[in-house]
Structure 1
Amino acid sequence: MFRLDELVARLGGEVCGDASVEVRRVATLDQAESGDLAFVANRRYFSRLHSSAASAVIVGLDARALLDGRSGILTADPYLYFARVAQLFNPPPAVRPGVHLLAVVSCSLPSTVEVGAGASIDEGAEIGEDVIIGPGSHIGRGTRIGRGTRLAANVTIQHDCVVGENCIIHSGAVIGADGFGFAREKDGRWVKIPQVGRVVIGNEVEIGANTTIDRGALDDTVIGNGCKLDNQVQIAHNVRIGENTAIAGCVGIAGSTTIGARCMIGGQAGIIGHLLICDDVVVSAGTLVSKSLTRPGVYTANLPLQPHADWVRNFAHLRHLDTLVVRVRALESELENQNHKGGPDDRKLG
């Protein structure tokens, strides 16, 4: 339980109403009960404020009058404040130091490390203080993992990779598998190119479930500090991602593409290889990025949803677009020639 004035003392903001009100968790406006702290980050939900049973509400600085006697916290960014309060109410589980009897460890570990059942750590690995290696996870030889990083169950980090401090890697993630590198014989057979680079992950990175990050072919694949990767993201060999970039689920990034800092990539977007995306770019969900983006901004390249019959009709027109362009150009050329020579209307006026 926290009093409102205790939260403000820790996180900032301004108490409105009774500062001694105690709250035990955060909740939505609709689901909140007595003892809950709700939040309103969007003006469209202000109408639900008065019917909420929450004991207190986090609102923006411009919504003071809407509290109308209700206790709350005023802040410049209610959603960010909610996130920080939620962290206070829901701290991560404490590390339980020790190596499970069913784990296989072939290197020395600090006494503060937790290793779950069925986990394996190869020789030459370097594991920092307060690291958690979840059940069934595997750490390859020569891999380094920084202080405070947490691996959920069944995470695989292949040999010689580097993971920074205070990272979170969720179940099923595979870090450092071979990149998709092959040369082709004249008869069509494929020759595998050994992938000898590493994956280097910075500090404070979160990697979602079943996400895969391939090791570099020659150079490293690099994920910058503070990046957040959703579930089922595919990052190919030699990709470089700048600090604090966020990538939503099912995004695929082809090899040797560089993405800048503070970018946001929407779900199911695809980015082809060998591109450069500058800092502060937003790519909308479902967009295929097929050329480099050298200016910050929002980029979208997908079709809006429409009824099937409309889509069929519109696509039928699209199929004839090239022919239409040729006809329009021919008509423009003919009109230009008539204007240059003087058409029938010009002769009549003469």
Structure 2
Amino acid sequence: MGEIADWLDAQALNEAPDEAATRITGAASLACAGPGDVSYYDGDRRSASQAAATGAGLVLTNRAGRERLPDTAICLLVEQPRLAFARLLERLYARPQQPAGVHASAVVDETAVIDDTARIEAQVTIGAGARIGPRAVIGAGSVIGANVAIGEDTRLLARVTVLDDSLIGARCVIQPGVVIGSDGFGLAQENGAWRRVPQVGRVVIGNDVDIGANTTIDRGALDDTVIADGVKLDNLIQIAHNVRIGEHSAVAGCAGLAGSSEVGRHCTLGGGVGLAGHLTLADNVHVTGMSMVTRSIHRPGIYSAGTPLDTNERWHRNAARFKQLDRLARRVKQLENRLGETPSPEEDS
């Protein structure tokens, strides 16, 4: 435990008399942890019962959490338990370093440049003029198009497709099934039929970006689609052409961002959020799950849309009443005018 305390610069509480008896070999939730596991607790009342009964050999906690843990619990006191837990997981579950080199089954264009320290796994295809940086890993079955650049320490897992001219920065992690640089939904009408508009922009991805499984990022129509440094994208997200996402923003699964929408820095979009095209979100905007954003948001804050789940009977009744709101509002306005009442600014907005 002393070694872990040193890693995290943490204060030990109730240190075990026999250090060997509390050797930590894994991690688990409070409810499932055993004597060899580390867990964390931040004082959340919703997990108080699990904290009181946990069998974890070590708990990372703060002062609020310590008050709800058993007196006998072996703890390390930290300011941010979840963050400390994440740092510890990186050490406990560090991936073994795989040898560099190009697998015999990979197909690499002769003009591609691959750093000697990079790893190219089985059945990878790398196109003309591509550049693979130091210690990068290109996972099995991945396709790297012409003139793609991938930065140092970036890791593509299996079956990632990065199409021509895309740029990916350093230390990114891209999960299986991701497609980067596919054509956007660019169409023009011609005599009642749709004509495809060539998409000639790129995808430019910054440093320290994570992209979840089966997410797709379209190339720009003319200008680039840009994912800035530190952005975190969940699984199954659609990012259309010319979208720009600012530094350290995060988007949860199944969100859809329509063309030319722009998300500021340090924003979060919940699961299933839809962004209409050509919108701008200011920095520090947070949109809760399943919301549909149809106009720009210029002020930081938390925004929500949609109706919460209810019984089917009540939902139908409320949906019918919703259609009457305009008529009711007009009647209220007429009554106010007759009575000479003026609504307050809060009421009027």
* TM-score, length of structure 1 as denominator length: 0.91
- Equivalent position amino acid for 1:171 in 2: P
Unaligned runs of 5+ in 1: 338-350
Q: Distance in 2 between matches of 1:209 and 1:143?
A: 20
| Partner residue, 2:333 | 329
Q: 1:114 aligns with which of 119, 136, 139?
A: 119
Checking the alignment, whether the CA contact within 8 Å between 1:95 and 1:132 is kept in structure 2 is no
Corresponding residue of 2:76:
73
Aligned to 1:48: 50
Contact 1:272 1:290 in 2 (8 A): yes
Aligned ranges 1:283-294 → 2 under 5 Å: 283-294=287-298
Larger Rg: 1
Alignment of 1:301-316 (within 5 A): 301-316=305-320
For 1:18-57, what aligned pairs fall within 5 Å after superposition? 18=15, 20=19, 21-41=22-42, 42-57=44-59
2:207 equivalent to 1:210: no
Aligned to 1:258: 262
SS in 1 for 2:198: coil
- Check whether the contact 2:209–2:230 (CA below 8 A) recurs between aligned residues: yes
The amino acid of 2:304's aligned partner reads T
Confirm or deny that 1:300 pairs with 2:301. Answer: no
Residue 154 of structure 1: how far off its partner (Å): 0.8
Which of residues 173, 181, 206 in structure 1 aligns to 2:178?
173
Per the alignment, residue 133 of structure 1 pairs with 138
DSSP 3-state at the match of 2:53: coil
Equivalent residues of 1:23, 1:37 under 8 A apart = yes
Contact conserved, 1:26 with 1:85, CA < 8 A, in 2?
no
Which structure 2 residues correspond to residues 151-300 of structure 1 after superposition, within 5 A? 151-185=156-190, 187-300=191-304
Q: Deviations over 1:272-331 (max 9, x none)?
A: 111111111110000001111111110001111100000111111112222223333333
Q: CA deviation at 1:67?
A: 4.5
* CA-atom RMSD in angstroms: 1.6
CA distance in 2, matches of 1:53, 1:112: 43
Supply the distance in 1 between the matched residues of 2:47 and 2:319 (Cα, whole angstroms): 39
Q: Which moved more, 1:65-74 or 1:122-131?
A: 65-74
Asked if the contact 1:95/1:112 (under 8 Å) is kept, the reply is no
Distance in 2, matches of 1:63 and 1:52, equals 13
Are the counterparts in 2 of residues 257 and 273 from structure 1 also a CA contact under 8 Å? yes
Amino acid at match of 2:47: Y
Give, in whole Å, the separation in 1 of the partners of 2:49 and 2:239. Answer: 43
Give the partner amino acid of 1:17.
N
- Structure 1 moving runs of 4+ over 6 Å: none
Q: 2:290 and 2:147 mapped to 1: Cα distance?
A: 38
1:287 partner letter = S
State how far apart, in whole Å, the 1-side matches of 2:52 and 2:317 are.
Answer: 48
The Cα of 1:225 is off from its aligned counterpart by: 0.7
**Which stretch has the larger CA shift, 207-216 or 39-48?**
39-48
Secondary structure at 1:49 match in 2: helix
Measured in 1, the distance between the counterparts of 2:165 and 2:222 equals: 13
Pick the aligned partner of 1:94 from 80, 93, 97: 97
Alignment check: 8 A CA contact 1:254 1:271 kept: yes
Residues 257 and 276 of structure 2 are in contact (CA less than 8 Å); yes or no, is this contact kept in structure 1?
yes
User: Which residues of structure 2 form unaligned runs of 5+?
Assistant: 342-349
Shift in CA distance, 93/212, structure 1 to aligned 2, threshold 3 Å = farther
* 1:95 and 1:113 in contact (8 A); partners too: no
Contact 2:267 2:285 in 1 (8 A): yes
Quote the offset at 1:219 in angstroms: 0.9
Aligned residues: 333
Aligned to 1:62: 64
Q: What is the distance in 1 between the residues matched to 2:139 and 2:204?
A: 20
Give the C-alpha shift of residue 24 in structure 1: 1.2
Alignment-mate amino acid for residue 244 of structure 2: R
- Residues of 2 paired with 1:13 and 1:46: CA distance? 22
Q: Distance in 1 between matches of 2:221 and 2:169?
A: 21
Give yes or no for contact 2:205–2:226 (8 Å, CA) kept in 1.
yes
The answer to whether the Cα contact below 8 Å between 1:240 and 1:257 also exists between their aligned partners in 2 is yes
In the aligned structure 2, how far is the partner of 1:44 from the partner of 1:141?
51
| 128-137 or 35-44, larger mean C-alpha shift | 35-44
DSSP 3-state at the match of 1:194: coil
Q: Distance in 2 between matches of 1:222 and 1:199?
A: 6
CA distance in 2 between counterparts of 1:146 and 1:165 reads 4
**What is the aligned partner in structure 2 of residue 6 from structure 1?**
3
CA contact (8 A) 2:41 2:65 kept: no
Q: CA deviation at 1:162?
A: 0.4
Aligned to 1:57, the other structure's residue is in SS state strand
Percent identity of equivalent pairs: 45
